[in-house]
A and B are shown apart, each in its own frame.
Chain A
Amino acid sequence: MMTEISLNVLDVAQNSIEAGASHIIIDIKADHKEDYLKIVISDDGYGMTDSQLAKVDDPFYTTRTTRAIGLGVPFFKYGAEMTGGTFTIVSEAGKGTEVTAAFVLSHIDRMPLGDITSTMLSLITCNENIHFIYSYSVDGRCFTLDTKEFREILGDISFQEPEVSNFIKEYLQDHKDEVDQGEYI
């Protein structure tokens, strides 16, 4: 079981990476007035056929050969639905996949968002060849990070260089704090 929504984000984004995506968009939006926390992860990977899509929330369906069980999507889906929220996957073979999980923000059973900075940092620094666009917004205050901007500035310098990854970590954390004003979402 995942204890934070940010771990589900990391997990589901790994599926995009496995699907050969070169662009991944991660969008996190919380709104207190409308009482929702919505997570959208979309990619331009292989996508899924209709028959794969029909089985995607079945824990005993997986495309992997290393084991027979796939719990990533079911965890995320039940996490969202447990709060009275919704979960949808739209996918087209050859085009890409979009996963949307909407949580009821104030529901007692909603997992905390958790350490989204660590999730984004490890996705960005471990997958330098993938273009990530990450946005985080709370009640209309918004922050967007586009790794293309980093790449243009850095040229061939790796994101894993200590100074660079440290910068990315602080950049993520500073902007997160500004957007949620230190609130533990």
Chain B
Amino acid sequence: MKTLEELKAIREKMQGQIGLRSEDSEKTRVVVGMATCGIASGARPVLTALSDAVQSKNLSNIAVTQTGCIGLCQYEPIVEVMEPGKDKITYVKMTPEKALEVVEQHLIRGQVVSKYTISSEGRL
């Protein structure tokens, strides 16, 4: 059973490393749409997969967050990747498996996975 004592131990351990963390403005933001449309189409497992992957691969310059309805409900679950100084990339109809590909190809190697982006839908 996890207790708050363990959280204190985590803090003790981490305080020495504070200087190593990057500033928020340099971070890449990965945003998952979490309104009714997103949630009903499966956004929560996508968000969980992204958070787990970013953590297990120690990608400390990436912040995974959530937002409301982006206005493209038919393309949910939607994941937006915002890298500082670059155009926003919008991935549509995501699944946990596709999200892991995006982590590997885009977030780690810097190659946009164009088969999943909104422009691949051909109607926009």
Interface residues of A (CB under 8 A from B): 1-2, 7, 10-11, 14, 18, 64, 66-67, 70-72, 75, 115, 118-119, 121-122, 125-126, 149-150, 153-155, 157, 160-167, 170-171, 174-175, 178
Contacts and interface: CB of A to CB of B under 8 A. Distances in A.
B1 A118 contact: no
For the complex of A and B, the 5 pairs showing the least CB-CB separation, nearest first, are A66-B71, A162-B55, A72-B36, A171-B2, A126-B66
A67 B47 contact: no
A1 B40 contact: yes
Interface stretch (B4-12, B97-105, B109-117): B4-12
Nearest to A172: B2
B68 A18 contact: yes
B10 A163 contact: yes
B83 to A, nearest CB: 18
A7 B73 contact: no
Main secondary structure on A side of the interface with B: helix
A162 B54 CA distance: 8
Given A2-B40, A7-B40, A155-B11, A162 B56 contact: yes
B63 interface: yes
10 contacts: A2-B39, A11-B39, A14-B34, A72-B35, A121-B48, A150-B7, A153-B4, A160-B64, A162-B58, A175-B2
Contacts, number: 93
Contacts of A115: 44
Nearest to A71: B36
B44 A174 contact: no
Contact of A167 (B10, B15, B58, B73): B10
Given A66-B70, A122-B66, A126-B66, A161 B51 contact: no
A170 B55 CA distance: 15
